[in-house]
Structure 1
Amino acid sequence: MSDLRRRSNKIEEKTNSTSCPKGVEGDERNILVLLFLYILQGIPLGLAAAIPLILTNRHVSYKQQAEFSLAYWPFSVKLLWAPIVDSCFIKSFGRRKSWLVPVQYLIGLTMYLLSLNVNYYLGQRGDGEEDIEPNITMLTAMFFFLNFLAATQDIAVDGWALTMLQKHNVGYASTCNSVGQTAGYFMGYVLFMALESYGLVTLPGFLKFWSIVFLVSTTLVAILKGEKEVEGVQGEEYKGDQGEQELGVVDTYKLLFDILKLSLMPATILMLLTSKIGFAATDAVTGLKLVEKGVPKDNLAMLAIPMMPLQIVLPWIISKYTSGPRPMDVFLKAIPLRLCMGAVMAGLVWITPSFKQESGDFPLSYYCLVVLLYSLHQVSGASCFCSGVYFFSKYLFPSEVLGFLFAKWGKVKKKLEKLEETLMNKV
């Protein structure tokens, strides 16, 4: 027991010693690589977000829209196969590249195949033939698989960030995640909708372009970017501040199951499963309802452009507050604002018809109001996201704690409760 306490004190000392900012010197290229990988990850998410707006103009019911929302599920349940990604790899190629490279190749190939058939799935026959009803089931299946691959890429990149960056810069991983995904989402959603509205690009052409980008960039990463050689666990000792632990798939799931049995986990899981209920409708339906009220979908997509600088700058600003000893304080302060924004956005939908002019257009003042409200919504959302990611990456399962658990696997079950108490005191 004293051994666990001594190691826990060392963990606290190391954490405190790295709490002071030391700058990103030596990690500039690594941060750029992470940012680029997260941008690629956001492209499928942005394209998936554009599909509901396209379907709205084809008079698809909300029931069918809800069916398509299943395409986002892989990001919610990626924990189920994360231990496989973490445990199975080709050591000579790299722990993370063993998954990152083939998965990104698959994303590129899937996007290329989708570009050949997406118009048919959307019910657009072309060649003067009458359009048919969109095939929602096939669209959902294709984008579900695409997001499954993107979620697997996310697992690999998140893990790679922990060893790619120096220890005192690990907090920037959540910033790269937020900024990169936002930029990728912007390009896959806003940029596509803008170009498509002016007839400059089609969905098949856009998909084909990004499929090529994925294939080329993945080849470059595979050849030019190597992984750090770090020591894992040997015998009874855990070596290296940034060492990665080597466990089999079965042992990894056993460890995950034991962690889930900690008394703090039910409350944590309940919080994660219910924290978004209050604003789920706001996030998913507001845009569709505005289109239903007459707001042109291309204008609505273009409104994201003035918010783009905010979406990029916000994570960097928020990271200054989440990098402290209590990152979830930001989450707790942002939740009430985000809940209130649900009522505000409902009010926006309600008053939208009163702004509509006889010509069917909306005045500039209305769009300024929408940008203002969406900006407040973005502030609350980014605050919750960044604080949550930083908390889980730094405090809940820090690498030193996991390394100690792996090294002392035979004694883990007897000491989990004591470890939980140590973590709770730290948080």
Structure 2
Amino acid sequence: MDPVLGDGLSVSSTSFQNSALSPRTPRFSPRTPRSAVYTKFVAGLDGLGEEDELALLDEDDRRQYAEGLEVDDGFGTINRNKPVSSEDKRAMVLLCVLYLIQGVPPSSFIGSMPFILQKHLSYSQLATFALSGYPYSLKLAAIQWSPVVDSVFFSSFGRRKSWIIPMQIINGTLMLYISLNIQRLMDDPSHHVTHLTNVFTALVFFSATQDIAVDGWVLTLLSPENLSYASTCQTIGLNTGYFTSYTVFLALNSEAISEKWGVPRLTLAAYLRFWCFVSYSVSVWLLFKKERKEPISDSGLSVKEVYKQIWTVCKMRHIQSLAIMFVFGKIGFAANDAATSLKMVEKGLLREDLAVAVLINFPFQIIAGWLVGTWSRGEYPLRPWLLTFWPRIGFAFTAMLIVYWFPTPVSAGFFVFLVVHTVLTSFTSTIQFVGSSAFFTRISDPLIGGTYMTLLNTFSNIGTMWPKWFVLKSVDMFTVATCQIVDDSTYFGEVATECVSQTGKKLCAELEGQCLVIRDGYYLVSTFCMIFGVLFLIFYTAPTARRLQSLPATSWRVKL
């Protein structure tokens, strides 16, 4: 989900290979821990147990075993053409379900809630509500919670289940609470923005905690040759959560669709109660899921030791370069992600039409996730992320032009064009997400698996979330609009100095006036983001991505 190369900076497969170590030179390739099945198989051949095997190894060999590394002679030691085992297929289904459950709360806040609140709140107030998504981005950097999740658990219950099950129960309870109080809060949301933000912040925080545990489980739940599919499962699960929380809910919540098709209208309270039930049900299902033992891991490290190890990782120069690249690399399309859909609705696009566009787009995202998961199984999983960066900025520019020349009413031909544009934009976003996630899975050190994965995902999530508040605030800040009174089709005069905030718009409506937008801050903010994104891509993101892609696995490992 991040940089790509532009004109004159394209990187072919040959240049990637040249930038890496020579294929004839033995080197360590990024590998993850052996599966339990593989360990038993090797132990069975030698007639030795796992402890006996380890006793025969010196300290360096034990460290190499712990890291899950193996010497690569250039031809690859993992058979990536091996069919996916039934055990891995079951693990993939479990991962999809878990990512679906944890994807619903942030998807509700990102997807449907801004459109529900848009009629009642200004962009500045929407920016305040957007803060509720920050715990998902700052789950390690700000909250410093990941090492605790990685180190504190009940071994008899399961290292990952010790956190996943309680988090799901808490989330379900929070959704039940919101469902019982949402009508009161939504009757006058402008006076309950802070409370809404606090409640959704708590919901997203516990989802982020579950995400930490699931990310750590991924490293041992799947076999090494199929680890790249973890990002595919994450894409399918999170996109399905987004699909249900956005498309399905907005469509079934629409009064127009309810009247047209004669179906009961789905309220926000009923929707949240449904996911409360699902969270409880999946928690019961996990009680019967036996967790694979992790013989070599960070489970023996104390919380303090894990903090020391992650601080050591943060001091690595290439980790710092990766953080800068991900945190600032997405500014090029930040305005498009945060404000374009809201602007289209403001221009006259019905929420139901937008939901239909997302509905059509959903299967394409799933297909893209699976294809890129296969594509990312090679030596360069970051390549898809790189190659798709320019198209994504290009689609952001096209979206700004769509908003500028938005037709009223929306014709059938324009709607088809809008659907195609939505599909292509989401396709590039999915490719970047899967590619970067596969790269993170590949370089993470299993000694602090969940924490390491969380750290890398935090950089990516921050890059997605932190510009949102500034974009929405800046749209209002740079917008100039006045209220004009028209009497018998004749201009009467200006009665308000601004028509940007909800207070100004409400006053103008009471005076039967119209808001005249003299300068829309959306275009200014979008232009700035794209210019910055292109420059940052050319001068930092592209060369840094090429350099990081070629580093050996040992450079990403924790030094004990």
Given the two structures, how large is their TM-score scaled by the length of structure 1?
0.84
Q: Please say if residues 219 and 449 of structure 2, whose CA atoms lie closer than 8 Å, have aligned partners that are also in contact.
A: no
Gaps of 5+ in 2: 1-58, 259-263, 453-549
Cα 1:28–1:424 shift into 2, 3 Å: closer
**Cα-to-partner distance string for 1:308-344 (whole Å, 9 max, x where unaligned):** 1101111111112211111112111111111111111
Instruction: Trace 1:105-144 onto structure 2 (pairs within 5 A).
Output: 105-122=169-186, 124=187, 133-144=190-201
Give distance in 1, aligned partners of 2:167 and 2:92: 21
Cα 1:229–1:374 shift into 2, 3 Å: same
Q: Please say if residues 146 and 212 of structure 2, whose CA atoms lie closer than 8 Å, have aligned partners that are also in contact.
A: yes
Q: Please say if residues 190 and 302 of structure 1, whose CA atoms lie closer than 8 Å, have aligned partners that are also in contact.
A: yes
Cα 1:421–1:171 shift into 2, 3 Å: closer
* 1:68 match: 129
Amino acid corresponding to residue 116 of structure 2 in structure 1: I
SS at match of 1:295: coil
1:206 equivalent in alignment to 2:271: yes
Q: Please say if residues 12 and 426 of structure 1, whose CA atoms lie closer than 8 Å, have aligned partners that are also in contact.
A: no
Q: Which has the higher contact order (CA 8 A, sep 6+)?
A: 2
Cα 1:163–1:394 shift into 2, 3 Å: same
Q: Please say if residues 395 and 425 of structure 2, whose CA atoms lie closer than 8 Å, have aligned partners that are also in contact.
A: yes
Larger Rg: 2
SS at match of 1:18: coil
Q: Please say if residues 74 and 148 of structure 1, whose CA atoms lie closer than 8 Å, have aligned partners that are also in contact.
A: yes
* 1:39 match: 100
Following TM superposition, by how much is the alpha carbon of 1:136 offset from its aligned partner in structure 2, in angstroms?
1.1
Following TM superposition, by how much is the alpha carbon of 1:398 offset from its aligned partner in structure 2, in angstroms?
3.7
Q: Of 116, 119, 128, which aligns to 1:54?
A: 116
1:356 equivalent in alignment to 2:408: yes
Amino acid corresponding to residue 437 of structure 2 in structure 1: V
Following TM superposition, by how much is the alpha carbon of 1:422 offset from its aligned partner in structure 2, in angstroms?
4.1
Following TM superposition, by how much is the alpha carbon of 1:271 offset from its aligned partner in structure 2, in angstroms?
0.8
Give distance in 1, aligned partners of 2:332 and 2:228: 28
Cα 1:298–1:256 shift into 2, 3 Å: same
Q: Of 216, 228, 233, which aligns to 1:159?
A: 216
Q: Please say if residues 105 and 207 of structure 2, whose CA atoms lie closer than 8 Å, have aligned partners that are also in contact.
A: yes
* 2:234 match: 177
1:423 equivalent in alignment to 2:553: yes
Give distance in 2, aligned partners of 1:322 and 1:424: 20
Give distance in 2, aligned partners of 1:421 and 1:332: 16
1:287 equivalent in alignment to 2:341: yes
Question: Where in structure 1 do 4 or more consecutive aligned residues deviate above 2 Å?
Answer: 6-16, 131-134, 243-246, 397-403, 420-427
* 1:331 match: 385
Give distance in 1, aligned partners of 2:169 and 2:449: 31
* Equivalent residue pairs, number: 385
Give distance in 1, aligned partners of 2:76 and 2:325: 27
RMSD between superposed Cα atoms in Å: 2.7
Given the two structures, how large is their TM-score scaled by the length of structure 2?
0.65
SS at match of 2:294: coil
SS at match of 1:184: helix
Q: Percent identity?
A: 33
Amino acid corresponding to residue 283 of structure 2 in structure 1: T
Amino acid corresponding to residue 249 of structure 1 in structure 2: V
Instruction: Trace 1:191-340 onto structure 2 (pairs within 5 A).
Output: 191-197=248-254, 198=258, 199-222=264-287, 224-232=288-296, 243=297, 245-340=299-394
SS at match of 1:44: helix
Following TM superposition, by how much is the alpha carbon of 1:381 offset from its aligned partner in structure 2, in angstroms?
0.7
SS at match of 2:72: helix
Gaps of 5+ in 1: 125-130, 233-242, 406-419
Cα 1:250–1:10 shift into 2, 3 Å: closer
